[in-house]
Structure 1
Amino acid sequence: MTSIERTAYPRFKQYPHPSELAELYTPTEAELELIETRTKSYEGKLRLMVMLKSFQRLGYFPHPECIPVPVIKHLRSCLQLQDWVKAIPSERQRYTYQNIIREYLGVKPYDKKAQKVIAIFVAAEAEIKDHPADLINIAIEKLVQEKYELPAFSTLDRLVSHVRHLTNNRLFQLVSDHLTSAEKDYLDQLLSSETEESTTNLNLLKSPPRSATLGGMKQLIAKFDAMMTFGDAQRLLAQLALTKVRYFAAHARALDISEFQDINLNKRRTLLLCLLYVAQVKTRDHLVSMYLKRILKIHNNAKKRLSELREKHLTQTSELLGTLAQVLTASKETNNHTALGEQVSSIFEQQGGTELLLQKYEEIAAYNTNNHLPLVWRFYSPHRKALFDLVRSLDIHSTSADSSVIEALHFVLEHQHKRSKHLSWDGDLSFMSQNWRSLVIKEVNGSKVLSRQQLEICLFSYLATEFKTGDACVVGSESYADFREQLLSRSECEPLLEDYCRQLNFPDNGAGFVEYLREQLTKVANEVDAFCADGKQFTINDRGEPVLKRLKSPPPSTEVEKLEAKIRKLMPERSVLDVLCNVEHWLNWTRHFGPVSGNEPRLKQPTERYIFTTFGYGCNIGPNETARHSRDVVTSHMISYTNRRHITTPKIEAAIRDIINAFNRFSLPSLWGTGKKVAADGSKFEIYEHNLHSEYHIRYNGYGGIAYHHVSDKYIALFTHFITCGVWEAVYLLDGLLKNVSDIQPDTVYGDTQSQSAPVFALSYLLGIKLMPRIRNWKDLSFLRPTEDAQYKYIEPLFKGTVNWNLIQTHWFDMMRVVLSIKAGKVMPSTLLRKLSSYSKKNRLYQAFCELGKVVRTMFLLEYISNMKMRREINAVTNIVEKYHHFLDWIFFGKQGAITDNDPIEQEKRLKYLDLVASSLILQNTVDISLAIQTLTARGEIVNRREIEALSPYPTRHLKRYGDFIVNLNHIPQPLETAINLPPEILES
């Protein structure tokens, strides 16, 4: 049976807050008139009103004894009745009153017609969705829409389960019928524990990729080849919705071999096929990622070798320079050319002769440049076979009309096994740089030929660039697919365009948009030029360099420190587990956890198990240490099993969302921020080197992955991504805002210097998001003037070019198509920004986004240099995310903060657990600080609002991390509602 807590099936709160009673259960004039006309006795009036308000709240008639006493008392008070008036009706009265209420509200009783309606509707939805709770919610929504009374939850659950079962069985049969005997045998042998090493099995499908070494790449290629002996699994899943395929794959991933044996054959094969399909897609992504990393490593090794050779030949360089100095000295001191020639000859003879000196010069000249390309081959040659195998295994296509790189790649693949030093080909090589052309194109016997070795590494290098820019795609991939196929079509965009532009106050055509933008840029530039006349914030020094006045940090307030000390004394000491238990009592956040099937968990004391698991992984202690300190309440196997089988990343995100929404109800966070601002920044977490996520990062000085947090100005994190160190962090800047579905919805995002990229500015502008990065190197960026004849008196040295308005106007619709596709959920901003992160000559859309971004960035920078208040605001908001990182470091204390799992899925789950624990502590601290402020004001102490605004929900001195780990759900905390509101005098001050 599905857990009712995981659904939207309405239920009473046993202890509703007075404000909730007043809002939801106070009778209206029409309702009072109804009971006056339909009943005469006091008991009848109360009973009818209780049933009416209960039905309005729930959508069904609850048993009279299930109605909370506070509701009855509230209604008795509203009707001005005495306590002796009873609210429980007789069976006959219940039947009569139910008909009265149905007639009054226009609601139909649940019958076979209603059952048929929702069965048809749920069956259609079950083709796309699978979780029973989601289907029950859909059924409830449909019944309310059709104005039907809701049946008992058990009735609804049985019906939905039956319909889901029938739908899934039909899909399992449909998939199984399309399988050949060989394909069935392949899927069946996945569950065999006695397969050969080269044969695919269940564990191989689930295994995460190793690090991007040559050995790791070879192993991944072998895995992909083994999976592809089945063929592309997508062709057999064409009749299934993608969401359904992903659910079946997640279900299969959670099962082990023994559990598969208990599943009927059609379902088993369908689950395995979905898992195989997802594994094929992910492996293609991993192969391309490894390819990019290996090509980058090859070039970095060549650059390093070039630097070493420069050092090695430094002595020879000094000797040659000394010889040149002697020649120049002799030339200066002697006017006789004959004598000078004799002296120069003598100098050359002393240094070993002209031939030796010329040889030394040629050696030095070869390495005294920045061109490392001649050295690449020696580092490429060990990878040659693996790179050819990898490229052959992928179906690579060009995404633009210029397919010269792909055509040249096919030529090289055809000649992989040739041993000749040179190849002849008259194809298009215009994409090559001059350095590459000098290496690749040679002249032999009067005809131009291609150096085979240099051509190979040249094309593999350019292919890596094509993948980065999106000019090449891999069929069947996800991260490296052709993003154009994910966009809305032109016919789908056109009906949406006018309304969307109206929402953002943009003109709905390219010419109008360009004119609007030109006017905005002109206006901002003129205003800033006039503002900078006084030279108080911005000046140009004698060297023509712009100088911006530095912001001074305000001195620390002793009053704030005193208030913090007073509050700290009033905050009770708690362990992290105590906090998780309190938040569970308030919000029941563990209801989101459970088996993949959506049924009730068959665990003993599941709530305690979920809390232990969250604590163990969220604090990075791990299952073993958590079990050791739990007084034998749980074992390490129980914790790891719960993590694998009952908890997924989306479930943790749902629990976090509940906490954020509860936190947002408090008045204290509204003093810290508006919720309309969010800061995004990354923090490095140590992870093992033997996985694809791990990468060395110069800025963080070590191997690891990046947790990219979006933290509200109210101090709570709204979303977190886990990315590799090598990824451009700004790619995920906008994703967090779109993936955030909590009640806190910001429209302004702050970031660090990485966020100032032109494509990010353009995309955020068209999405209606204001980008406010903190920029260190702002004076090095390009300011664009609106027209060529625009001149400025005080800020003229800033401008380095003019806007190409024609480019923006030409590609305006293409850019809006991208934005509308993002809004429709077809594609994420990160997917586009990954393609727009590297310069592409072919991609005119990229160039248009860059040009638009430079316009928007110019307006931002002009405001940035002229508005000291804005700069202070940027520093203040971005400092919040830095404080959040320190708070996480305190929570994630186990294993010295290192993530010890090599699976990317589990690595991301660790950070989601961490955010769940952090959000719980923030909520608890907010409650305790609010109660402390209430206590201080009740004592008559004056608490200044400005001092409260300087606080944060990150104190840790009263929290305990060590000792025995005890989950005590018998301790009932103070109701959450008691701490929601601060004293009115503070809010009004």
Structure 2
Amino acid sequence: MSSGLHLSDQELRLVNSNKKPDSKLGFSILLKFLQLRGYFPQDHHDVPLEVVSNIADQLDINGKLFKKYDIGSRSCRNHKAQIKKFLGFRDITKPDYTALNKWLCKELSFEHGINDFVSEANNRLLKLKIVASNQDQIIRTAKSSLNSCEDAFFNKIHRKIPKRSKSAIDEILSANSELSLTEIKSDPGKVGIESLIKESKKLAVLREIDLPDSLFTQSISKKHLIKLKRRLSSESLHEITRHPPNIKYSLFAAFTHVRIQEITDGLVDLLIQIIHKIGARAENKVTKELVRDFKKVRNKDSIFCRVAEAAVSNPKGKVEQVIFPVANENVLKDIVKELKATGPFYRYKVQNVMRASYVHHYRKMVPVILDCLDFCSNNSRHKPVIDGIELIKIYQDSTKQMYSDSDDVPINGVVKNEWMSFVLQGNRINRANYELALLDSLRSRLRCKEIWVPGSFKYCNPDEDLPQDFHKKRVAYFDKLKLDLDPKVFVKDLENQMRSSLTKLNQQMPNNDSVKIHNKKGGWISVSPLVAQEEPPNILNLKRDVMANWPMTNLLDILKETELRVGFTEKFETVGVRERMGKETLQRRLLLSLFGLGTNMGLKRVCTTTSMENFQDLSYIKKKFINRDNLRNAISSVANAIFDIRMADIWGEGSTACASDSKKFGSWDQNLMTEWHIRYGGRGVMIYWHVEKKSTCIYSQLKACSSSEVASMIEGILKHNTAMEIDKNYVDSHGQSEVAFAFCHLLGFKLMPRLKAINRQKLYLPGTGESGNYKNLKEVLTRPIRWDLIVNQYDEMIKHIAALKLGFADAETILKRFTRNNLKHPTYLAFCELGKAIKTIFLCEYLGSMELRREINEGLNVVENWNSANGFLFFGKNSEIASNCIADQEISILALHLLQISMVYVNTIMIQQVLATPQWNDIMTKEDYRALTPLIYTHINPYGSFHLDMGKRIALAA
């Protein structure tokens, strides 16, 4: 709006005809508001403060006078009439509303929200120079148009749904249904056969509806289908059955379409985790048995040598007379136990335990899986696994232990080398052992999407994740990604960068006291730890002043103040199409609900502090308004508000650097998300945060403990949806890999990790025969980069980058195929080579610059500080996420994110207000500003108010 706020000479002459300063200012604001938005403001709060300030400066009038201007007065109405005449606007009429309604229905679709309809309506009226008396009329017209679009869509879908499908839907909604609607809506339970069977029943029930494959093809986006599914999921059975037939059947069809994909994903996840569970449990059991009596024997080679010499010198003697004198009997027993605990014997014992577990319990999952899921592959190399699955189908009702000699049993490409001796028993193939080996191969190929499942979303055809028109629009895609069209030019530039970086580091090394390169273990890098910086002198006093000015500020009041300034509750749209609740009531209930969820106290606890709302009220708000998309939009609005209010002289210019890291939260474990954490111990989930340098968290994700941090890092950079532009991202060792370096470079930002195993890092060469050019680095130099791999696979690499950047698929879906399970994939090899080159350039900078190492360390410290505040705010239920519903788990974490970023927003204002006082003039030093953070909470009371009244007693019997 600021670009059109300049008052022309003609406009200034009109404005100056109004004598009083407040009238001049009010008249000017009304004029510009109508000129730019097409309607008049109904209240002072409708006008942004920066607009008031801009126009006031042009008129040389104090902006505070705008509050004295009465928008509802007679003089204001006269001003509006003058402005309309001056700009050529006319008042809206009934035919205008009718025409506007038709135009909105023609131009917009059901997928657009009410805000889009209102915005387009205002733009249309502005273009026609028609002004409505108030925005309520426009909103009513927009809602009417949206309802018309919805009815048209539902009628269209309803006509396509066959009668048999409607009958099946009615059966599910009836009291006699095999599975209740609540069960169909629920997430999978804990990993196990029971959960798998339950999910297969859900899938079978929904597939019996038998919707046409083309029902939603090109008529609605997947994103809006999910919204429709969310809408039906929020409704009770009574609410669903009350809908008119066109709405009921269309909504349930959308629900079914999405739910089949989700259940299929869940089944594949269960299959992958069950196969892993069989192996992990067997390994644990065998390890415990062997370790119990295990004792490592030293100098085994010397003992074996003495035994061999004794045996050769007296081959016909007795063991107790020849062997035991040179090797103690107990020592030999320990050697036998040690050898059994390692090597082939250990693997064979694990496989036997796996077989026993599989045959007696887990084998009954195979018919369930084969009935529910189909497996496909686009690569002929994986066809043997598909053929093996078909063979299992043929034999699934057989009691034979071995396959027949006449059967063509696929072995190559199915049975790994370590399984071969276990599967082949003489010239025969054991069925159960073969099934175990095949399931192990199937798991690894499903994880990297070399084998995919029709009807799934996460495990769908990998070709569908990529832009199908890439080769036709190659130039356009390269232009969007700002990358060189010619791979040779791209490679040549990287070669030059590598040579430059290696040369610079080679020259620095003799004078680099903090980095040493040793020749032990084939090359060893040692980096001196950073010296801790001194505590800045004034930060503690600043915190004391904040505490003195705002002592024990209630956390709920902080959330409320953020809402009153930012208005983030406007982002919470209902999952339905209409809501009759008053704006103030909705705002109050949303704040209470978000506070209860963000502190993990729950909605019931929040209700005990207020008599105005009850649990049912807040539960309704959570069900209809609080979901992942609305929370993310609210978080983005608060983050952008922080960037807007920051004073550059205090916080510095806008940051383009971000740090990301994860934190473990405890959670209930009867679901597929919660896992046992191998590093931290205990069951839980991981929350991956993206925090910029001044403690504003721009993105958060709920992840399983074993999920890829690299995928999470890229996902947050691409989807944070704030005004911040990121050109570098700090991570720890778990957030980086060679493939990650390649992806980040092609996506246009720098990956900057703090490497834990810096001693084992190697530097790659840009070309053959160049190691002599870098004599100070020779111990850590390795082979040259294979540039030909990058050149040959350049287009394929960019196709995957385009899929990420333009939203065809998420980062985890794309990166699944580039893991060690897929080592022979040519595109994976090319990404690895590119990553090695980029990582070498980074390592040269990292080793040569202590300032860079400190910058990365400071960035990651900001994330650690953010993590430390999580426990302060998320204090309820021992900080454990008390839900098995994955959607509820995500909502809890996003509500915490919103609560914490609101605290940062209010603290930013408080700190700026304190530093504006005279006593702080010229006190702050450069080091103080460096350490300044708005993530402080010593002045905040997260629990509520406590009043002690000694005269009031609890009503107890004497």
TM-score, normalization by structure 2:
0.87
Cα 1:965–1:465 change in 2 (3 A) is: farther
Equivalence for 2:869: 887
Deviations 1:889-942 (A, max 9, x none): 10001111011111101110001110111111111111111111122x357673
- Of the candidates 801, 821, 840, which is equivalent to residue 839 of structure 1? 821
Whether contact under 8 Å (1:421, 1:452) holds in the other structure is yes
- Of the candidates 871, 877, 888, which is equivalent to residue 859 of structure 2? 877
Cα 1:931–1:386 change in 2 (3 A) is: same
Whether contact under 8 Å (2:675, 2:684) holds in the other structure is yes
Report which stretch shifted further, 558-567 or 261-270.
558-567
Aligned-partner Cα distance in 2 for 1:535–1:51: 65
Cα 1:831–1:124 change in 2 (3 A) is: farther
Would you say 1:379 and 2:357 are equivalent positions? yes
Aligned-partner Cα distance in 2 for 1:395–1:241: 26
**Identity percentage of aligned residues:** 21
Cα 1:535–1:582 change in 2 (3 A) is: closer
- Of the candidates 940, 943, 951, which is equivalent to residue 932 of structure 2? 951
Secondary structure in 1 matching 2:621: helix
Aligned-partner Cα distance in 1 for 2:133–2:946: 43
Aligned-partner Cα distance in 2 for 1:162–1:755: 49
Equivalence for 2:639: 660
Q: Which sections of structure 2, spanning at least 5 residues, go unmatched?
A: 948-958
> Quick one: which amino acid aligns to residue 119 of structure 1?
K
Deviations 1:677-711 (A, max 9, x none): 11111111111111111110111211011111111
Listed as ranges, the matches of 1:524-923 within 5 Å are: 524-543=501-520, 544-597=523-576, 599-602=578-581, 605-628=585-608, 630-668=609-647, 671=651, 674-791=654-771, 792-923=774-905
Would you say 1:134 and 2:116 are equivalent positions? yes
Cα 1:802–1:436 change in 2 (3 A) is: farther
Cα 1:290–1:138 change in 2 (3 A) is: farther
Whether contact under 8 Å (2:762, 2:781) holds in the other structure is yes
Whether contact under 8 Å (1:696, 1:704) holds in the other structure is yes
Secondary structure in 2 matching 1:691: coil
C-alpha displacement at 1:268, in angstroms? 0.8
Aligned-partner Cα distance in 1 for 2:76–2:566: 35
Aligned-partner Cα distance in 1 for 2:41–2:783: 72
Cα 1:299–1:90 change in 2 (3 A) is: closer
Secondary structure in 2 matching 1:190: helix
Whether contact under 8 Å (1:761, 1:857) holds in the other structure is yes
Report which stretch shifted further, 26-35 or 456-465.
26-35
Equivalence for 1:458: 437
Would you say 1:425 and 2:400 are equivalent positions? no
Aligned-partner Cα distance in 2 for 1:882–1:62: 44
Whether contact under 8 Å (2:161, 2:212) holds in the other structure is no
Equivalence for 2:185: 206
Aligned-partner Cα distance in 1 for 2:168–2:915: 66
Cα 1:322–1:822 change in 2 (3 A) is: closer
Aligned-partner Cα distance in 1 for 2:224–2:536: 57
Cα 1:170–1:726 change in 2 (3 A) is: same
> Quick one: which amino acid aligns to residue 207 of structure 2?
M
Secondary structure in 1 matching 2:189: coil
Report which stretch shifted further, 141-150 or 686-695.
141-150
Cα 1:365–1:172 change in 2 (3 A) is: closer
Whether contact under 8 Å (1:127, 1:240) holds in the other structure is no
C-alpha displacement at 1:238, in angstroms? 2.8
Cα 1:61–1:342 change in 2 (3 A) is: closer
Equivalence for 1:341: 316
Deviations 1:752-799 (A, max 9, x none): 111221121111111101111111013334532111211120112222
Aligned-partner Cα distance in 2 for 1:268–1:599: 16
- Of the candidates 286, 290, 295, which is equivalent to residue 270 of structure 2? 290
Equivalence for 2:285: 305
C-alpha displacement at 1:626, in angstroms? 1.6
> Quick one: which amino acid aligns to residue 787 of structure 1?
G
Cα 1:667–1:75 change in 2 (3 A) is: closer
Cα 1:867–1:232 change in 2 (3 A) is: farther
Cα 1:361–1:425 change in 2 (3 A) is: farther
Secondary structure in 2 matching 1:248: helix
Cα 1:72–1:546 change in 2 (3 A) is: closer
C-alpha displacement at 1:646, in angstroms? 2.3
Would you say 1:100 and 2:86 are equivalent positions? yes
Cα 1:71–1:305 change in 2 (3 A) is: closer
Secondary structure in 2 matching 1:665: helix
Cα 1:108–1:405 change in 2 (3 A) is: farther
Cα 1:804–1:637 change in 2 (3 A) is: same
Equivalence for 2:951: none
Secondary structure in 1 matching 2:695: coil
Whether contact under 8 Å (1:210, 1:216) holds in the other structure is yes
Equivalence for 2:950: none
Whether contact under 8 Å (1:708, 1:721) holds in the other structure is yes
Secondary structure in 1 matching 2:707: coil
Aligned-partner Cα distance in 1 for 2:54–2:690: 45
Equivalence for 2:460: 481
Cα 1:323–1:579 change in 2 (3 A) is: closer
TM-score, normalization by structure 1:
0.84
Deviations 1:636-688 (A, max 9, x none): 23222221122222112222222112211233576267421111111111111
Aligned-partner Cα distance in 2 for 1:755–1:842: 23
Secondary structure in 2 matching 1:499: helix
- Of the candidates 421, 429, 440, which is equivalent to residue 438 of structure 1? 421
Whether contact under 8 Å (1:471, 1:842) holds in the other structure is no
Secondary structure in 2 matching 1:342: coil
Whether contact under 8 Å (1:613, 1:623) holds in the other structure is yes
Aligned-partner Cα distance in 2 for 1:917–1:144: 38
> Quick one: which amino acid aligns to residue 642 of structure 2?
F
Whether contact under 8 Å (2:666, 2:881) holds in the other structure is yes
Equivalence for 1:981: none
Would you say 1:180 and 2:162 are equivalent positions? yes
Deviations 1:205-260 (A, max 9, x none): 21121111232222222222222222367543336302332222111111101212
C-alpha displacement at 1:383, in angstroms? 0.9
Cα 1:546–1:61 change in 2 (3 A) is: closer
Whether contact under 8 Å (2:710, 2:734) holds in the other structure is yes
The size of the alignment, in residue pairs, is 920
- Of the candidates 960, 974, 977, which is equivalent to residue 941 of structure 2? 960
Cα 1:507–1:348 change in 2 (3 A) is: same
Equivalence for 1:494: 474
Whether contact under 8 Å (2:524, 2:760) holds in the other structure is no
> Quick one: which amino acid aligns to residue 959 of structure 1?
I
C-alpha displacement at 1:54, in angstroms? 3.9
Aligned-partner Cα distance in 2 for 1:898–1:852: 41
Equivalence for 1:3: none
> Quick one: which amino acid aligns to residue 854 of structure 2?
R
Cα 1:782–1:365 change in 2 (3 A) is: closer
Would you say 1:253 and 2:253 are equivalent positions? no
Equivalence for 2:911: 929
Whether contact under 8 Å (2:307, 2:323) holds in the other structure is no
